[in-house]
A and B are shown apart, each in its own frame.
Chain A
């Protein structure tokens, strides 16, 4: 089981959980396993072609998976998977 860090905007789909233990031997499998447990997550992370959306980065441990093997990146027990979306907030009104 790897540990998946759920970003704040997706926590409403995980009943508020910020960290989840998830099975799967690749990042893609981990996301599908998440989807099975918490429906709606995959749609938030992946685009229509099944690729990670371009305003989201997914990391295995410290490394972004595009620099590894994408969704096929292998996942071992005790790996950390981080889903990191772009955040706009700075709470200043500059526009």
Chain B
């Protein structure tokens, strides 16, 4: 067998694959061609700047990960390195995997930059973040880009109780950049059976304070805004507008309708969860699906549906339901998987059944139907048949 030196090997590879100039690639991208572009350089090179829209798969992982990026072997795959040598050798390997049209970028990223074409200097994870989030970033659906989306995102939790506890802890651990928590309650010893944000030493403290301590301990990357105020019509829009997404863990119907209406009016997705004794419901309300009023146009009359405080709740149940809410929030932020928009997950922990039911928009919905009559926030206590609350808390909401 004849030996090949370095140059001969590269020449042989180039003779077996297609090459493309930076300008040609730019023209194809501008024309909207479906071209997969992969940056195969090392991480320290990638972070200095890369072609817009390119996926980062270092050379050593290319063959292992390329199918996740482009499973269709008929589609063109453009590889680039710094100067066009490593990418030629790599493209040759993709041919062996059956890719019909692997293309190496002539001159690599240097050629791209020298041609004056646009490139992006990415936000990247610090070394500490790479270690902390490694089990996320190795998931193909998350990756470093997905983790950065989480770090750049903000989620508002309505309530730091049974549902809010697991949701907040998992979202903090996942690296959501900013978590807001609205809760006007203090920790009671009867909360500790299920509200894992709080401990024995927190009894009597405002829940937002013990929540902030616990969440900072889980992940100091996360900024926690506590709102030690009741959520009402006068402050809901101000508070909710500061977040990308809302996770509802409230314990009463007026707040559920208030949060639903405010989220819909502001265009914020709402991950809704509710529980009763052994049973839970989770769904997502956003502009592409129904809202809470589509499902439940009117609240039950007061007293018709007992609360957890009256009927009790299995302590583990909010752990399950709140965790499902956290997964759904993370999926929405990163943008992968099939969400619960338009579907309601029902879980019954007594007979351990899980069902998914279809839920649709109601054309007669007073909020998001064809002829909306609810165009601003209303008095939700009155709507739910309860005595109106004096709106004497007129101060602007201040993160505590």
Q: Do these two chains really belong together in a complex?
A: yes
State whether the Cβ of B269 lies closer than 8 Å to any Cβ in chain A: no
Interface size on B, as a range, is: 35 or more
Contacts of A59 in B (CB 8 A): 357-358
Contact B295 A57, beta carbon cutoff 8 Å: yes
Contact A92 B275, beta carbon cutoff 8 Å: no
Interface residues of A in 18-68 (CB under 8 A from B): 18-19, 53-55, 57, 59, 62-64, 66-67
Contact B158 A86, beta carbon cutoff 8 Å: no
Contact A93 B359, beta carbon cutoff 8 Å: no
State whether the Cβ of B19 lies closer than 8 Å to any Cβ in chain A: no
> A82-B357, A87-B281 are contacts. A18–B159 as well, Cβ < 8 Å?
no
Please pick, from B191, B305, B348, the residue contacting A85 in the complex, using a CB distance under 8 A.
B305
> Chain B nearest CB: distance from A81 CB in Å?
11
Task: Tell me which of A64, A66, A86, A92 has the highest count of chain B C-beta atoms within 10 A of its own C-beta.
Answer: A92
Contacts of A89 in B (CB 8 A): 162, 251, 274-276, 307-308, 313
Interface size on A, as a range, is: 20 to 34
Docked Cα-Cα span, A18 to B349, in Å, equals: 11
Contacts of A66 in B (CB 8 A): 362
Contacts of B253 in A (CB 8 A): 86, 88
> Chain A nearest CB: distance from B133 CB in Å?
28
Docked Cα-Cα span, A6 to B212, in Å, equals: 39
Please pick, from B249, B254, B306, B358, the residue contacting A92 in the complex, using a CB distance under 8 A.
B249
Contact A8 B300, beta carbon cutoff 8 Å: no
State whether the Cβ of B246 lies closer than 8 Å to any Cβ in chain A: no
Contact B251 A84, beta carbon cutoff 8 Å: no
Contact B344 A84, beta carbon cutoff 8 Å: yes
Contact B351 A18, beta carbon cutoff 8 Å: yes
State whether the Cβ of B195 lies closer than 8 Å to any Cβ in chain A: yes
State whether the Cβ of B146 lies closer than 8 Å to any Cβ in chain A: no
Contacts of B353 in A (CB 8 A): 5, 18
Contacts of B207 in A (CB 8 A): 92-93
Docked Cα-Cα span, A64 to B283, in Å, equals: 15
Docked Cα-Cα span, A94 to B249, in Å, equals: 9
Contact B308 A91, beta carbon cutoff 8 Å: yes
Contact A94 B358, beta carbon cutoff 8 Å: no
Docked Cα-Cα span, A66 to B309, in Å, equals: 32
State whether the Cβ of B346 lies closer than 8 Å to any Cβ in chain A: yes
State whether the Cβ of B117 lies closer than 8 Å to any Cβ in chain A: no
Contact B251 A88, beta carbon cutoff 8 Å: yes
State whether the Cβ of B231 lies closer than 8 Å to any Cβ in chain A: yes
Contact A94 B158, beta carbon cutoff 8 Å: yes
State whether the Cβ of B135 lies closer than 8 Å to any Cβ in chain A: no
Docked Cα-Cα span, A58 to B296, in Å, equals: 11
> A59-B357, A90-B249, A90-B275 are contacts. A95–B184 as well, Cβ < 8 Å?
yes
Contacts of B243 in A (CB 8 A): none
Contacts of A82 in B (CB 8 A): 346, 355, 357
State whether the Cβ of B356 lies closer than 8 Å to any Cβ in chain A: yes
State whether the Cβ of B122 lies closer than 8 Å to any Cβ in chain A: no
Contact A94 B276, beta carbon cutoff 8 Å: no
Docked Cα-Cα span, A64 to B184, in Å, equals: 36
Contacts of A5 in B (CB 8 A): 353, 355
Contact B255 A91, beta carbon cutoff 8 Å: no
Contact A55 B275, beta carbon cutoff 8 Å: no
Contact A95 B255, beta carbon cutoff 8 Å: yes
State whether the Cβ of B279 lies closer than 8 Å to any Cβ in chain A: yes
> A8-B277, A91-B162, A91-B308 are contacts. A62–B356 as well, Cβ < 8 Å?
yes
The 9 residue pairs across chains A and B that have the minimum distance between CB atoms: A92-B159, A92-B161, A93-B185, A91-B162, A90-B249, A54-B298, A87-B274, A89-B308, A86-B296
